[in-house]
Amino acid sequence: MSPADECSQHWKQPQVFIDMPNTKSAAKRLRQNTVRRARNRSLKSELRTRYKRVIEILKEGNVAEAETVFRTAAKRLDQAAAKGVIHRNAAARLKSRLSAKIKAAKMKASPSG
């Protein structure tokens, strides 16, 4: 490989940009954002897990347990919306969808009423 080829290969290496704040306040904001991003990701992951858990229990056919798990999931969705992790309309939409699935499962379990 000629020196020109080595130079062109080196140029094609991906560049990694590291956030380097210019001021003290920017450095603090970077620290805060890092902590908040990690916390929000964790909470969103928990919400997805709780949502899926309700769906799984409904697929098993256990409506009573699904209602219990739904109550805790709804509470966590409301808390996440209050903290601004997700939008309040998103929380309401997810709760509504779960509630509709539970209602449909109830109707399917007892078609008389």
pLDDT tens for the chain, 113 residues: list them. 555 555 556 556 666 667 788 999 999 999 999 999 999 999 999 999 999 999 999 999 999 999 999 999 999 999 999 999 999 999 999 999 999 999 999 998 877 65
Q: Is residue 23 part of a domain?
A: no
Q: DSSP state, 7?
A: H
Q: Is residue 37 part of a domain?
A: no
pLDDT value of residue 20: 86
Q: Is residue 60 part of a domain?
A: yes
pLDDT value of residue 2: 59
Q: Are 63 and 105 in contact (CB under 8 A)?
A: yes
Q: Is residue 56 part of a domain?
A: yes
pLDDT value of residue 109: 80
pLDDT value of residue 64: 94
Q: Is residue 101 part of a domain?
A: yes
Q: With DSSP H G I counted as helix, E B as strand and the rest as coil, what are the percentages for the chain, rounded to 5?
A: 80, 0, 20
Q: Is residue 68 part of a domain?
A: yes
pLDDT value of residue 111: 73
Report the domain count for the chain: 1
Q: Is residue 95 part of a domain?
A: yes
Count Cα atoms within 13 angstroms, Cβ side, for 34.
7
pLDDT value of residue 68: 97
Q: Is residue 84 part of a domain?
A: yes
Residue-number span of the structural domain to which 86 is assigned: 52-113
Q: pTM score > 0.85 for this model?
A: no
